[in-house]
Amino acid sequence: MPERTRGQIDETTPAGASRRELFQIGNALALPMLLGATEAKAASGPLRPGPEIYQSIGVEPVINCRGTFTIIGASIELPEVRAAMDAASQHYVQLDELAEAVGRRLAALTGAEWGMVSSGCAAALKHVTAACVAGGNPEKLIRIPDLTGCDKTEVIIPRSSRTAYDHAIRNIGVKIVMVDTPEELAAAINPRTAMIYLTAGGPSHSGPLSLENVARIAKPKNIPILIDAAAEVLTIPSVHLERGATVVAYSGGKAIRGPQCAGLLLGKKDILMSAWQASSPHHGPGRDNKVGREETLGMLAAVEAWVKRDHAGEWKTWLSWLDAIAKRVSVIDGVKASVREPAGLSNRSPALIVSWDAARLNITGEEVAEDLARNKPRIAIGADGGERRGGEPDSGSTGISITAWMMQPGDEKIVGDRIFGVLSKKRGPRPAPVAPAANLTGRWDVDIEFFSSRSRHTLHIEQNGNRIQGSHKGDFAVRDVFGTIDGNQVKLRSTSAERGSGDSINFIFAGTLAGDSISGPIFMGEYLNAKFTARRYGYPAGHAPILVPGGPPLAN
């Protein structure tokens, strides 16, 4: 039996991570999926509905041992949800009347004042922001994102709550005001403040800018507070509303297992009615975020099912699946397995942590994840890359994580067998790197070909043997770059955390050196791929003597 611990998972562990933490590690963990998808293409033909509907058009499905990541479909809808959506699709209905009835029913089920279904959690954030800016006034609503003449034009976000998801808020055209302390928050509130946005968990759960502390400052000034609880389980009544939030937003297609293209808003009726006004089918900035009658009733069916589900029984089932996988892989000499059970609300699922010494088995967790993602049956798992910053394998502990809650019955045997097969395979020590074909030290001008545009970047490289470090100047930012050269094969990685936002962009250059040129693909995680050609910069020949003047010039 694997070791089992209770309590909040360590922040470095993918299992039990907050939405913000998942985004930060998501690119690295999704990369094997992208690399696999680029090379594991099956033959495509006419669409054939049935068990192999994806294979019929050349797409190989994935066993989800990773969690509710949208990139791999998040969750599988409950049977009750699919039945409700199918029934809803057979009739016409006036959507405002439907929203009114569903809002009332969601309130009865959850204890909130009102409820609303959106086309996803990001759309929910957008609609609430529009509601707080326009206040239900259509003359203001239709002018978004041009907020000229509007009195509510600013949204306050603690720096710890900045993520890529707040693009949904910025799409309304508001000015984002970042704060780090309660004192800064109090000073930032002014007549232009439309709302305050917090991501659930982490610093908003405890700390100086916890939800309770924010509410104590904001409520007397009548400033709405929006909580983003996308990946959380649904608590009834909502803990966030009880702690002082005005509105809380959930993803419908994650823990609640409703429609993938649905979100759930709970909170004050006046704001949610303004949010509904800002949503399709009404014209304005939310017309592009359509939620149909099928998703609306599917989301309601998911909440109806949530209050009846045997959550304790589900947890026991998940643990049994992880126990089966642990027993299968623990027989491998040097492999350890432990189950961790998170106490938080976000991504609340037990996870199996499988670890080993990378030097002993001659494989890292990241390499195992790529093997599972690339070869059939394809499996999505979390991974500890087992690499140092410079890109070379670390001889210390490495591992993978298997998250249970999105697995399906029978997956545990397939997953256990696949992991056993990969880890039990005999491998020799890693070969020593081949001597570099050249010294790359210096400046390189990089032409990048994106899908529909081109850019010129610059690399400044310092080479020490097979290791490379330096800087990568992009269109808007300069970031550190690290990598290796193995013969004529060059691998470089740079990561940018865009200043003043929660966005992060990864560039992985995989090029072949030929003379004074390096060319190949760039892997950009969720932003897909590009092509590059880097050319060594030739400095002008010859240098004129430099005379240092003894004083100011006598003429211009």
Separation of alpha carbons 63 and 409, rounded Å: 11
Lowest mean pLDDT across 1-15, 95-109, 373-387, 532-546: 1-15
DSSP letters of 387-448?
Answer: B-TTSPBPSSEEEEEEE-TT--TTHHHHHHHHHHHHHHS--PPPPPPPPPSS---EEEEEEE
Which of 66, 116, 98, 157 minimizes the C-alpha distance to 250? 116
Where helices occur in 155-251 by DSSP H, the ranges are 167-170, 182-188, 211-218, 239-242
How far is residue 204 CA from its own chain's centroid?
19
The pLDDT confidence band at residue 42, using thresholds 50, 70 and 90, is low
Q: What is the mean pLDDT of residues 358-371?
A: 95
CATH number for domain 442-536, candidates 2.50.20.10, 3.40.640.10, 2.40.128.120, 3.40.50.720: 2.40.128.120
Separation of alpha carbons 46 and 61, rounded Å: 17
Q: Is the pLDDT of residue 67 over 80?
A: yes
Question: Is the Cβ–Cβ distance between 160 and 196 less than 8 Å?
Answer: no
Beta pairing partners, 517: 514, 535
Where helices occur in 278-310 by DSSP H, the ranges are 293-306
Pairing of strands 3-6, 62-64: unpaired
79-306: CATH topology is Aspartate Aminotransferase; domain 2 (3.40.640)
Residues 6+ apart with CB under 8 A from 525: 26, 27, 28, 30, 31, 34, 505, 506
pLDDT number for residue 214: 97
Q: Is the pLDDT of residue 26 over 50?
A: no
DSSP symbol at 89? T
Residues 6+ apart with CB under 8 A from 103: 114, 115, 116, 269, 272, 276
Q: Token digits for 491?
A: 């691998």
Separation of alpha carbons 109 and 107, rounded Å: 5
Higher-scoring residue by pLDDT: 538, 8: 538
Lowest mean pLDDT across 129-138, 457-466, 509-518, 545-554: 545-554
Q: What is the pTM of this model?
A: 0.88
Q: Token digits for 97?
A: 């009347």
Residues listed for the chain = 556
Question: Is the Cβ–Cβ distance between 213 and 182 less than 8 Å?
Answer: yes
Taking residue 431's Cβ as centre, other Cβ atoms within 10 Å add up to 7
Residues 6+ apart with CB under 8 A from 311: none
Question: Is it true that domain 3-73+311-424 has CATH number 3.40.50.850?
Answer: no
Separation of alpha carbons 505 and 232, rounded Å: 25
Coil vs helix vs strand at 178: strand
Taking residue 75's Cβ as centre, other Cβ atoms within 10 Å add up to 24
Q: CATH 3.90.1150.180 residue ranges in the chain?
A: 3-73+311-424
The pLDDT tens digits for 295-339 are 999 999 999 999 999 999 999 999 999 999 999 999 999 999 999
Higher-scoring residue by pLDDT: 203, 390: 203
Q: CATH 2.40.128.120 residue ranges in the chain?
A: 442-536
Q: Is the pLDDT of residue 10 over 80?
A: no
Q: Is the pLDDT of residue 210 over 60?
A: yes
Q: Is the pLDDT of residue 16 over 80?
A: no
Taking residue 554's Cβ as centre, other Cβ atoms within 10 Å add up to 6
Residue 218 burial by CB count (10 A; 0-12/13-18/19+): exposed, middle or buried?
A: buried
pLDDT number for residue 555: 84
Q: Is the pLDDT of residue 156 over 90?
A: yes
Question: Is the Cβ–Cβ distance between 196 and 156 less than 8 Å?
Answer: yes
Lowest mean pLDDT across 404-413, 427-436, 443-452: 427-436
Question: Is the Cβ–Cβ distance between 344 and 6 less than 8 Å?
Answer: no
Question: Is the Cβ–Cβ distance between 340 and 3 less than 8 Å?
Answer: no
Q: What is the mean pLDDT of residues 7-30?
A: 41
Long-range pairs, 524-531, Cβ under 8 A, ≥24: 525/26, 525/27, 525/28, 525/30, 525/31, 525/34, 526/26, 526/27, 526/30, 526/71, 528/34, 528/451, 529/34, 529/38, 530/448, 530/449, 530/450, 530/451, 531/448, 531/449
Q: CATH 3.40.640.10 residue ranges in the chain?
A: 79-306
Separation of alpha carbons 212 and 240, rounded Å: 9
pLDDT number for residue 543: 78
pLDDT number for residue 498: 65
The pLDDT confidence band at residue 13, using thresholds 50, 70 and 90, is very low
pLDDT number for residue 22: 46
pLDDT number for residue 499: 65
The pLDDT tens digits for 162-187 are 999 999 999 999 999 999 999 999 99
Which of 16, 73, 68 minimizes the C-alpha distance to 401? 16
**Radius of gyration of the chain, Cα coordinates, nearest whole angstrom:** 26
Q: Token digits for 25?
A: 């590690």
pLDDT number for residue 150: 96
Percent of the chain whose predicted confidence (pLDDT) is above 70: 89
Q: Token digits for 60?
A: 């190989």
Q: Is the pLDDT of residue 553 over 50?
A: yes
Q: Token digits for 482?
A: 């690290």
Q: What is the mean pLDDT of residues 104-118?
A: 98
Q: Is the pLDDT of residue 411 over 80?
A: yes
What's the mean pLDDT when you consider all of the chain? 90
